[in-house]
């Protein structure tokens, strides 16, 4: 099986090194490479590769490369390609695992590391293929071909079956013909039994009419249902439909767990090694994580527009490209955006235009 692949890395030298090692595998087919977030996303959507080599901690921050690219793929693709992270640090390995990447390779990429990654991918795909093939064989084995009967033998067999059916019919009719006197006797016995059952039920109801309990009433009702030949109805509890839960951020600090609905967050502001989270009610919460950390884990509709700001696009009321600022709804706050993140701002503008939108 061939694996068309794309390399996304801000360092062109690293791209060439990865490609040189990958060229040694006949099943790997190079498609293209990109050095930034936007070009990489466009290449993936255009070529639909089976494998992606992705740098998530670039030296050039303007490339905007991070795990957020994987989140973006879920917006457009039903089947996400196998993604191998290639980076120089181990710090983001745990976060990468949460994104279900195929492998995490530390630079410089070695041939043996790539061999292991390809073998793991082959094994996972091979197990699925083997399971499908096994099911197909089992399904074929259950189909037993009926033996074909020659025409000259088939006709006598059909005649014998017809004779047997006629004999069976006569025998059945003999059993069904019950003498009239026996039939009347059976009807009288059935009537007597029904009357006795009714009298028994009436006696039970009379003896419990004065000091009956709820349990006794239930028991009598069940007895009456059984005598009448009724089966109590069984009610099946309907399962609740699966509803996607809204994202909740937990800000943890020394045993203090603060839960924040992501929909209430207007924007994030960097403050050295911590980040200030501004809410729609005017409150501010400090988290001891860097803004880069939040950029890597936050899904849509959050987008980074500046080295110091990540904004929730649902709270943007105005974008002034001339002054390079975004306005926050129901406030006087203006957030600047930089040239390095201008592509994210352009994407926000295009998303507004794709919705229920009227430009005047």
Query: Which pLDDT tens digit goes with each residue over 277-328?
Result: 999 999 999 999 999 999 999 998 999 999 999 999 999 999 999 999 999 9
pLDDT value, residue 130: 42
Tell whether 183 is covered by a domain.
Answer: no
Tell me how far apart the alpha carbons of residues 100 and 103 are, in angstroms, rounded to a whole number.
9
Residue 10's nearest CA partner among 32, 28, 37, 31 is: 37
Domain boundary among 70, 99, 128: 128
Q: Which pLDDT belongs to residue 191?
A: 55
How would you classify the pairing of strands 265-271 and 274-279? antiparallel
pLDDT at 255: 81
Check residue 108 and give its pLDDT. Answer: 87
Say which range, 33-42, 72-81, 219-228, has the weakest mean pLDDT.
219-228
Q: Domain holding 343: CATH number? A: 2.40.50.1020
pLDDT in tens, 50-76: 999 999 999 998 999 999 999 899 889
pLDDT computed for residue 326 by the predictor? 95
Supply the pLDDT for residue 141. Answer: 45
> What does the alpha-carbon distance between residue 131 and residue 126 come to, in Å, rounded to a whole number?
8
Does 119 fall in a domain? yes
What's the angle, vertex CA 96, arms to CA 93 and CA 98, rounded to 5?
120
Q: In the chain, how many domains are there?
A: 2
**The pLDDT of residue 354:** 86
Q: Is 70 a domain residue?
A: yes
Is 213 a residue whose pLDDT tops 90? no
Query: Residue 221 to residues 25, 194, 201, 205, 216: CA-CA distances in angstroms?
Result: 77, 17, 10, 10, 9
DSSP 228-296: TT-----PPPPPPPP-PPPPEEEEEETTEEEEEEGGGEEEEEEETTEEEEEETTS-EEEESS-HHHHHH
**Residue 237 is assigned to a structural domain of this protein:** no
Residue 331 within any structural domain of the chain: yes
pLDDT at 189: 55
User: The whole model's pTM is what?
Assistant: 0.39
Interacting residues of 148 by C-beta distance below 8 A, sequence separation 6+: none
Collect all residues with Cβ–Cβ distance below 8 Å to 358 and sequence separation of at least 6: none
Least-confidence region, from 239-248, 252-261, 324-333: 239-248
Q: 288-293 — which CB contacts under 8 Å span 24+ positions?
A: 288/253, 292/66
Does 348 reside within a domain? yes
Before 108, cis peptide (omega within 30)?
yes
Question: At which of 109, 128, 147 does a domain end?
Answer: 128
Kindly tell me the sign of the dihedral angle through the C-alpha atoms of 41, 44, 50, 52: negative
- Residue 151 included in any domain: no
- CATH at residue 84: 3.40.50.2300
Domain with 79 in it: 3-128
Residue 273's pLDDT band (cuts 50, 70, 90): confident
State the DSSP code for 10: S
Report the mean per-residue pLDDT for the chain.
Answer: 78
Stretch among 104-113, 135-144, 158-167 having the lowest mean pLDDT: 135-144
Q: Is the pLDDT of residue 136 over 80?
A: no
φ, ψ (nearest 5 deg) of residue 186:
-65, -40
The more confident residue out of 203 and 267 is 267
pLDDT at 174 over 80: no
Q: How many CA atoms lie within 13 A of 164 on its CB side?
A: 6
pLDDT at residue number 317:
94
Q: Read off the pLDDT of residues 1-32 as tens digits, 9 standing for 90 and up.
A: 788 999 999 999 999 999 999 888 888 899 99
Q: Which of residues 65, 95, 128 is at a domain's end?
A: 128
Q: Which residue has the higher pLDDT, 176 or 48?
A: 48
pLDDT at site 234: 44
The confidence score (pLDDT) of residue 36 equals 94
**Residue 171 forms part of a structural domain:** no
Q: Is the pLDDT of residue 139 over 60?
A: no
CA dihedral angle for residue 149, residue 154, residue 158, residue 159, rounded to 10 degrees: -150
Cα–Cα dist 293/37, whole Å: 17
């Amino acid at each position: 099986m061939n694996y068309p692949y794309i390399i996304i890395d801000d360092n062109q030298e690293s791209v060439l090194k990865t490609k040189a090692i990958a060229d040694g595998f006949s099943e790997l087919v190079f498609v293209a490479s990109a050095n930034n977030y936007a070009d990489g996303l466009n290449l993936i959507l255009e070529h639909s590769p089976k494998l992606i080599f992705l740098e998530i901690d670039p030296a050039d921050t303007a490339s905007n490369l991070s795990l957020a690219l994987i989140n973006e793929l879920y917006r457009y693709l039903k089947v996400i390609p196998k993604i191998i992270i290639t980076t120089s640090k181990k710090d983001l390995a745990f976060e990468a695992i949460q994104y279900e990447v195929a492998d995490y390779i530390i630079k410089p990429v070695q041939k043996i590391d790539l061999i292991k990654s390809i073998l793991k991918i082959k094994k996972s795909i091979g197990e699925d293929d083997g399971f499908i093939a096994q099911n197909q064989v089992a399904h074929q084995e259950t189909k037993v071909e009926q033996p074909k009967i020659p025409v000259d033998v088939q006709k006598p067999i059909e005649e014998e079956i017809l004779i047997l059916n006629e004999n069976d019919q006569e025998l059945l009719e003999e059993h069904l013909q019950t003498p009239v006197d026996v039939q009347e006797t059976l009807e009288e016995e059935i009537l007597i039994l029904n009357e006795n059952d009714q009298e028994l039920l009436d006696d039970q109801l009379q003896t419990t009419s004065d000091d009956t309990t709820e349990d006794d009433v239930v028991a009598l009702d069940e007895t009456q249902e059984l005598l009448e030949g009724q089966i109590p109805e069984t009610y099946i509890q309907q399962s609740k439909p699966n509803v996607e839960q809204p994202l909740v951020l937990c800000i943890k600090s020394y045993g203090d767990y603060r839960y924040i609905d992501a929909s209430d967050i207007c924007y994030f502001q960097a403050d050295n090694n911590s980040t200030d989270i501004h809410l729609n009610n005017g409150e501010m919460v400090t988290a001891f994580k860097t803004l880069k950390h939040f950029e890597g884990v936050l899904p849509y509709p959050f987008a980074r527009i500046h080295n110091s700001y990540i904004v929730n696009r649902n709270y943007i009321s105005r974008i002034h490209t001339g002054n390079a600022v975004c306005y926050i709804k129901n406030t006087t706050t203006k957030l600047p955006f930089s040239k390095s993140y201008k592509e994210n701002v352009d994407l926000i503008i295009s998303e507004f235009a794709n919705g229920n939108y009227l430009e005047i």
